[in-house]
Structure 1
């Protein structure tokens, strides 16, 4: 196998298909995409469990936030996919490979799902697709997932997709809505040699 650092797997931005979903790119020039990004990052459930370094509260800040994700893909340090329904093309949420290092063959995944798309295992299906892409197309060895302590839904999604619980990281995440207080994080991970989990279905 060629040295992973000699490849250019992030350009052009890939699409990933399967499990009734299509993972594709976000377009910072699309007002619809910017509005959806704003809606996702201002959703109360998202804000309960996440505190971005730069808060998003209007279209302009949403556009800048989305632009930073596009730039991460261009620099090879991250990939953020728009989760869409394969049949209708409707946007369902977002899933990112953050802190991506092709040299170290590791990344940390994060995701959110729009309120109207919840209850159909969108996050689990998207995570299964993104992990498979990371291990096969990118040649990564380790994919991590961290969530705030108490976020039981995220815990179940991680375990359903074969991300084993590895421990609790003390004070590793901001408290909700604050950048002067911290909370603990559950760390899950999969490595390339772990068995492939059963494919989640929308109705299972």
Structure 2
């Protein structure tokens, strides 16, 4: 089997900026980042659509989760960003370029938005930024995005960002809060050769 791990992500790569956002790496040593990560991952709307492989529910678990993200960056297999307002620096959510496969120039993207930041196009703007970064800075060719079937908000974000639907993956993720039952996943993808979507105007 081919080695899918890449080189350590270069810390000198520019942090994505634009659309009123600044994507910054999470800091595993920051109490504020750990508390925000905990709040985002325990949010009922997040848990409705996602079931993390490893469950945790306290600051200690949040810190370990962020340390794991940092290790993935060191191994070159993922990049995790804290989505912040470009002017105020306020944290609005998270976006990750995950499961980076260098030989195939492929990765999967995922995101969530804090409750108080929803309804402002944050996920759309962050996905546009992260996609451009992955194509230009990492040289990837294909980005995949999967969400639980029925998650219409995530479906709209994908389509606005140039990720057309490619079909349904049967029972490809856990049911909410369970590991003994599965649900279908709606698959979207975008290629580096696809036309760049227009800047999001918030509508």
Fold conserved between structures, TM > 0.5: yes
Distance 1:101 1:131, change over 3 A: same
* Residues 135 and 192 in structure 1, CA contact (< 8 A), matched pair in contact too: yes
TM-score normalised to structure 2 length:
0.94
Q: Which runs of 4+ in 1 moved over 2 A?
A: 5-14
Cα RMSD (Å) of the superposition? 1.5
Aligned to 2:182: 182
Aligned to 2:68: 68
Distance in 1 separating the partners of 2:107 and 2:6: 18
Distance in 1 separating the partners of 2:6 and 2:67: 26
**1:88-122 Cα deviation digits (max 9, x unpaired):** 00000000011012222000000000000000000
Query: Number of residues paired by the alignment?
Result: 199
Point out where structure 1 has 5 or more consecutive residues left out of the alignment. Answer: none
TM-score normalised to structure 1 length:
0.94
Distance in 2 separating the partners of 1:33 and 1:13: 21
Distance in 2 separating the partners of 1:135 and 1:157: 18
Aligned to 1:79: 79
Point out where structure 2 has 5 or more consecutive residues left out of the alignment. Answer: none
Deviation for aligned residue 1:199: 1.1
The farther-off stretch of 114-123 and 9-18 is 9-18
- The 5-angstrom pairing of residues 136-155 of structure 1 reads 136-155=136-155
Distance in 1 separating the partners of 2:109 and 2:143: 7
